[in-house]
Amino acid sequence: MKELLLLKYAPEIFLKGLNRNTFEKKLKNNIDNALKGLDYEYVTDSGRTLLYSENFNEIIDRLKKVFGITEICIVTQVEADMDSIKAQAFKEVNDSFCSTFKIETNRANKKFVLNSMEVSRAVGEYVLNNVDGISVDIHNPKCVVNVEIREKAYVYSKRIKAQGGLPYGINGSTFLMLSGGIDSPVAGYLMARRGVDISCVYYHSHPYTSERAKEKVKELARILKEYTGHMKLCVVPFTDIQMQIMEKCREDELTIIMRRFMMRIACALAEKYGVNSVTTGESIGQVASQTMESLVVSDSVSDRPVFRPLVSMDKTDIMSLSRQIGTYETSILPYEDCCTIFVPKHPKTKPKLSDIEASEAALDIDNLVMQAMETTEIFFL
């Protein structure tokens, strides 16, 4: 008898046809990277991936943040015979102190003498006759005991929910505009959960935004790194650009022109580092720069796809997810970012592209972008 961790992969991985091996190989590499420095070994049995270690708690904490795993089950490996299975099922139910239970069986080993239904019935009857005060409830049981019969048998009732999604790094790459607020870290998490490799760009307006604001963004990037395993953060000096816009453009167009510069720089960084796309934390209609018209004008300077995973989400839903992934408490620290300074009293909510381009004609756009790129700081967190 031996305790192991059974890793259940996201069902979507099994729908990848001839690419399934590529997804599974990527996920295994990500698991190995997440568990670096810990002692563990793989146990394989008829297509199942299990892990053995004497340090389960640390292993589970790390695996819970690996995209592509939906569930981690603490299983007991026993001999594939009915006496061993019944004894372990009895222990699972008895230790749970539940009033109702159910047995679910998966018989992958077709040579086993009983089919799945017969195993569940026999094990259930044994538990019912030997645990005091217990009853069967197949619709809403307090305790579900799973029995998997392969070369060995695996019995378990303890399941830990993991992140799901697709293996990180399997679906291209993106530059995330990380502002320091609540929304953009959540957008980064959602893209990473779909297997997209994330790098971050932050626009720093020193001395109007403080070093503490920059440290806050670095901390947010570090939290995202707990899910991704690595993180590159580009900190772009943005003050000169904002001052030029303030001096030479209409006051009500400040925000939309600023957003267009951010998009240009994100695309330039993506080109420099071979990144496929840009991601923002914008949600439709949340502020003036996030109206449909404003988003169209911002996107017109992009030379690659712009993803907005929060576009249809309410603020309360975004805040809830932020708490869930651990970024909320850092995001609400009261340090201003470049988007909250130099804010016009009445920003345009329905900008026309021709008007914005006419206003930008007063600016040396290429030179401003080039200077920002040349003075960008790079952090590998």
Binding residues: 177-178, 202-203, 259, 281, 290
Alpha-carbon distance of 173 to 279, in angstroms, equals: 10
Sequence-distant contacts of 322-326: CB under 8 A, at least 24 apart: 322/182, 322/185, 322/186, 325/185, 325/186, 325/189, 325/223, 325/227, 326/223, 326/226
Q: Measured between alpha carbons, how far is 285 from 313 in angstroms, rounded to an integer?
A: 11
Number of C-beta neighbours around residue 151 at 10 A: 12
The strand order across the sheet containing 173-177 reads 306-307, 277-279, 173-177, 197-204, 232-237, 377-380
What is the distance between the alpha carbons of residues 196 and 100, in angstroms, rounded to a whole number? Answer: 43
Backbone φ/ψ region at 229: left (φ over 0), alpha (ψ -120 to 50), beta:
left
Q: 147 — phi, psi (to 5°)?
A: -125, 120
Rg of the chain over Cα atoms, rounded to whole angstroms, equals 27
CB 27 within 8 A of CB 34: no
Instruction: Answer yes or no: are the C-beta atoms of 90 and 101 closer than 8 Å.
Output: no
In this structure, what are the phi and psi dihedrals at residue 61, rounded to the nearest 5 degrees? -55, -40
166 contacts 194 by C-beta, under 8 angstroms: yes
Q: Which residue reads 């009895």 in tokens?
A: 90
**β-pairing verdict for 2-9 and 48-52:** antiparallel
Q: What are phi and psi of 192, to 5 degrees?
A: -60, -35
Distances (CA, A) of 51 to 38, 74, 161, 162, 340: 12, 10, 16, 15, 48
Contact between 314 and 213 under an 8 Å Cβ cutoff? The reply is no
Local structure of 219: helix, strand or coil: helix
Per the annotation, binding residues for ATP are 177-178, 202-203, 259, 281, 290
